[in-house]
Amino acid sequence: MKIRFLLDENLSPKLKFAVLRFNPEIDIVRVGDIDTPSSGTLDPDILKYLEISQRLLITDNRKSMPAHLEDHWSSGGHIWGLLWLKPNATLSAWVEELYLIWETSEAEEWIDKIDWIPF
């Protein structure tokens, strides 16, 4: 199954549009889009949504997300992957990495995995 991405709401919408310009076939949505959690949804509920929707989260939330992720896993939950954006990278570097991940891996390979991009 192809990876489907969810961008955290604190990320610029420019990232979504840049990914789609790079390849419009990539399934990428942002918190607050239609059929996604609304803006302001708490991290634990985002993690539940990821599990149900089978989406990989892209975020720069390094404050609260790690603890919520540990709680989610401790309660038996799973995620379809999480990518933290390295703060010093450029928009184009993030887009290229997301495209490479989408092109070269399957969603199932990312279950309960976390990583930083660019690698």
Does residue 63 surpass a pLDDT of 90? Answer: no
DSSP assignment of the chain equals ---EEEE-TTS-HHHHHHHHHH-TTSEEEETTSTTSPPTT--HHHHHHHHHHHT-EEEE---SSHHHHHHHHHHTT---S-EEEEPTTS-HHHHHHHHHHHHHH--GGGGTT-EEEE--
Domains of the chain: 4-117 (3.40.50)
Does residue 84 surpass a pLDDT of 90? Answer: yes
Question: What's the pTM?
Answer: 0.93
Does residue 62 surpass a pLDDT of 90? Answer: no
